[in-house]
Chains A and B, each alone.
Chain A
């Protein structure tokens, strides 16, 4: 029966990104391109057509020199849990092809490229612009095809793709766990490529439900928040910052509204439901 238990222990894999530590170097983006066979176009400066599963955004406080401050926000797929934490995330609920679904065992939102027919409803539904569309078949320089990752399938023209929290790494870690007769995957066995590549250790990854994992504590910190929290999409990517102006930039706040208050009020609203 231990084998059955392996399938029932529920996890919520999530990320905590410390924005005070992020230097905007873009190593996470490069690692992601290499790990997930993300194709690049001839003109990467055209950001409308660029494919990337994690993208580093730059925001500033809008003040003139010498008071200008800059913050970089790495933004992967938020792997939303949906309003009632039941996997009813914006993209999953609109997909007419069941090409994307919510994995209740890990909380990761999948994208099946062979099932997707490219209607792009999910892209319209995603409030985080985490999904990207393949306008062309990917072309790699001849020698580079040998460096493609065999654990991730390459996508074709006309389908949508997005960050998977490097799910293939989870599968690999599980393989090892099966071989060693373990039920659980260790925290350090499953880490996405962007987390490993970050030189300042700004990104932490693990199971948000497991008190032994680092993200458990970090996600409950006073500094932690999520993007567009008012939408109640319940993303599993948390951010941390000590700067007030950065907090204000991460949601549509009205002039005299304080981000902290909003979060608390939305929580009490939920409790009253």
Chain B
């Protein structure tokens, strides 16, 4: 009799300790999820402000489309962010009472200093990317990769990976590719390869995108 009751109490202890372990596992899981999804990205990325804030929307309204400032040079290369000379064409003297424009003229135009823009889509130095191949060769739109920049009223913050020094836009804002990202899709190698495989039937050879 006594051995039977001993067994019963032992199995009851085992059952309750199973619950305790499960609860602790759950607490640990939730804690690591919060750390991984919320705390770690905050720790990994430092946030920077662009040197001058401006509205893409206003510029598009005035100038028509993206190509007014981001254009192809005659040799097929892409200009990227406009240089000070291009900005000077319009902003040599104040056009509006905007304090950002005031700051731009005082700090950069009058001192003849290039604006150190932070490039959201700056690729690592081993990557070759041809705007001509995508925009001219296969008629892609700017929004497909860069998101709807043209309708933004101010420049969003730039997030820099503290370890690699690259922009967060490369790694992306979500671990899982769920839905359309607000700032355009991720730009990791596999993302490029997936699209190339879909559109051209091949991921391409190494030298197509590497240098």
Which residues of A does B touch, CB under 8 Å?
3-4, 6-7, 98-106, 108, 110, 112-115, 151-154, 164, 167-168, 171-172, 174-181
Contacts and interface: CB of A to CB of B under 8 A. Distances in A.
Contact of B207 (A3, A110, A154, A178): A110
SS class, residues of chain B in contact with chain A: loop
A103 B205 contact: yes
A179 B207 contact: no
Given A112-B210, A171-B130, A177-B76, A105 B205 contact: yes
B113 interface: no
Contacts of A179: 72, 74, 76, 132, 136
B126 interface: yes
B207 A176 contact: no
B203 to A, nearest CB: 11
Interface string B121-134: 00011101010110
A6 B137 contact: yes
Interface bin, chain B:
20 to 34
A133 to B, nearest CB: 18
Nearest to A102: B205
Given A174-B130, A175-B133, 11 more contacts: A104-B205, A112-B126, A113-B126, A114-B126, A153-B125, A168-B211, A171-B130, A176-B132, A178-B76, A179-B72, A179-B136
7 contacts: A110-B207, A168-B128, A171-B128, A174-B76, A174-B132, A178-B137, A179-B132
B77 interface: yes
Given A164-B207, A175-B76, A176-B75, A3 B138 contact: yes
B207 A108 contact: yes
B138 A101 contact: no
B200 A7 contact: yes
Contacts of B43: none
Contacts of A112: 126, 206-207, 210
Contact of A175 (B75, B126, B205, B211): B75
A112 B126 CA distance: 8
Contacts of A174: 76, 130, 132-133
B132 A175 contact: yes
Interface of B: 72, 74-77, 124-126, 128, 130, 132-133, 136-139, 200, 205-208, 210-211
A176 B29 CA distance: 54
B76 A167 contact: no
Given A171-B128, A178-B130, A114 B76 contact: no
Nearest to B133: A178
A110 B132 contact: no
Nearest to B77: A175
Contacts of A177: 76
A110 B206 contact: yes
Nearest to A2: B137
A153 B126 contact: yes
A181 B136 contact: yes
A73 B117 CA distance: 48
A259 B131 CA distance: 49
B126 A110 contact: no
Among A3, A4, A104, A154, residue most surrounded by chain B Cβ atoms (within 10 Å): A3
B211 A152 contact: yes
B76 to A, nearest CB: 3
Contacts of A104: 205
A168 B77 CA distance: 12
Question: Nearest 6 pairs between A and B by C-beta?
Answer: A175-B76, A176-B76, A178-B132, A110-B207, A103-B205, A175-B132
A78 B74 CA distance: 33
B206 A101 contact: yes
Contacts of B139: 3
A219 B87 CA distance: 52
Contacts of A113: 126
